[in-house]
Amino acid sequence: MPKEVVVPNVVGLPFQVGRDLAIEAGVTLANPDPDGPPIAALAWPGLFYITSQQPAAGTVLREFDSVGITVERFEPS
């Protein structure tokens, strides 16, 4: 039986930090559009922040399930 894990809150984090937190929690971050490019391709090069996630933090998933995220490039003012 697959292990159950709790989705962490990655909203507001830099992509690399959120990715590492998700891996530690047992889930992977993904592009919410299954026909789109991998999320890592959308968050490179540069500094990108995670602006939303689905499912929400605290949701119980099976280990290695995906959490869809959107990212936005950081633009210094």
**Any idea where the domains of the chain sit in the sequence?**
4-73
DSSP string, 17-46: HHHHHHHHHT-EEE-SSTTS--HHHHT-SS
CATH 3.30.10 describes domain 4-73: yes
pLDDT at 37 over 80: yes
**The dihedral sign for the CA sequence 63, 4, 69, 77:** negative
> pLDDT confidence of 52, banded at 50, 70, 90?
very high
Q: Which amino acid is at 48?
A: F
Q: What percent of the chain has pLDDT over 70?
A: 100
Name the pLDDT band for 5 (thresholds 50, 70, 90).
Answer: very high
> Across residues 37-49, what is the average pLDDT?
94
Report field, pTM of the whole predicted structure over 0.75 = yes
| pLDDT (0 to 100) of residue 31 | 97
